[in-house]
Amino acid sequence: MPQSASDRIGIAVDSSCDLSPEFIRKHGIEILPIYIHHADGTYQDNRDDGAMTRFYQEHSRQRYSSAQSEPLSVNDVSDIFEQQFLPKYDRVNVITINSRKSQVYNRVTEAAMINEPKFRDKRQTPFRIRMLDSYSMFSGHAVLVCEFARLVHDKGQPQAKAIARINQLRDKVYGYIVPFDLSYMRERRNLRKGDHKISWLSYKLAETFGINPIIELHQGETHSFKKSKGYPQALRDLFEHAKSSILSGLATDTIVMSYGGVLSEIHDNPDLVAFREFARQHGVRTMLSMMSATAAVNVGPKAFSLAFAREEH
């Protein structure tokens, strides 16, 4: 169906997507919450800036070390579709976290399949829900959302063309995480879906020699990218890698970063400041946001995430 000028196109993401509050407001991004069940109850991760600040200020290992995240139920998603999306949009594009790591994509897809036929009977104009699996997480997920919003909202491109671009782009997204506390990730390795990569031996070696890994996520799979001497050096190594990628050629003009804590802790880090200035000078925008609570309970507070889409050479 061709896109008309009167089409109201919405963009929705689950709350694990690390977007800044300014970007969310500018593009009217709809947030699908994720529940985090912890020792003292349940926290709703919905990317509310104030709630995220309180989450990090009140975070404790005792409360969250065994926490489990849970996507909305199919019924919950159905209610959001009907009550929030149906009155506002003709088309909604839902871009989710990597489906190999979470059930978000499956549950939202099921809700869409159930409700689209019902919604056609409730209004005269068509209503469509389009699902897109990002194959990525956290800041990598956000790289695709930034590009989709740029194409649809800023450039006014047809939705079909923007979707084709995202499908082509997602295999080029490289996401990286620098954990601050490797022992936290080691303790949670059996709670993370499909992630058992931090063995006792590799953890003890890292602890003994002060090694801090940089973890890469590409095409839905996680890999050890580099081992650095400590957290500050790991950040420097990651920024140097990102600089090299900028010089080699990115596939989009945005690099997304997130930090597992209040941003005042990292904002003035000299290496981060220098990297952002380097990116600016080379025509690359950078976005920095608080890391989602969903990410933080899995990789630990003070972790740092960075992602970009890179052309293959």
Does 3 reside within a domain? Answer: no
Total domains present in the chain: 2
Among 127, 153, 170, residue at a domain's last position: 170
Instruction: Say if residue 253 is in the same domain as residue 141.
Output: no
Instruction: Say if residue 203 is in the same domain as residue 142.
Output: no
Instruction: Say if residue 237 is in the same domain as residue 143.
Output: no
Instruction: Say if residue 158 is in the same domain as residue 204.
Output: no
Q: How do residues 202-251 score in pLDDT, each as one tens digit?
A: 556 666 667 888 999 999 888 889 999 999 999 999 999 999 999 999 99
Instruction: Say if residue 23 is in the same domain as residue 158.
Output: yes
Instruction: Say if residue 176 is in the same domain as residue 163.
Output: no
Q: Which two tokens stand for residue 267?
A: 């904002």
**What confidence score (pLDDT) does residue 251 get?**
97
Instruction: Say if residue 144 is in the same domain as residue 238.
Output: no
**What confidence score (pLDDT) does residue 41 get?**
93
Q: What angle do CA 99, 101, 104 make, to 5 degrees?
A: 50
Does 291 reside within a domain? Answer: yes
In this prediction, the residues of the chain whose per-residue pLDDT falls under 70 are: 1-7, 186-209, 313
Instruction: Say if residue 188 is in the same domain as residue 149.
Output: no
Instruction: Say if residue 163 is in the same domain as residue 43.
Output: yes
Does 136 reside within a domain? Answer: yes
- Count of alpha carbons within 13 angstroms of residue 206, beta-carbon side: 25
**CATH number where 107 lies:** 3.40.50.10170
Among 141, 170, 199, residue at a domain's last position: 170
Instruction: Say if residue 103 is in the same domain as residue 201.
Output: no
Does 4 reside within a domain? Answer: no
Among 121, 145, 170, residue at a domain's last position: 170
Range of the domain at 224: 172-309
Could you give the residue ranges of the DSSP H alpha helices within 150-230? 159-169, 182-187, 200-209
**What confidence score (pLDDT) does residue 184 get?**
73
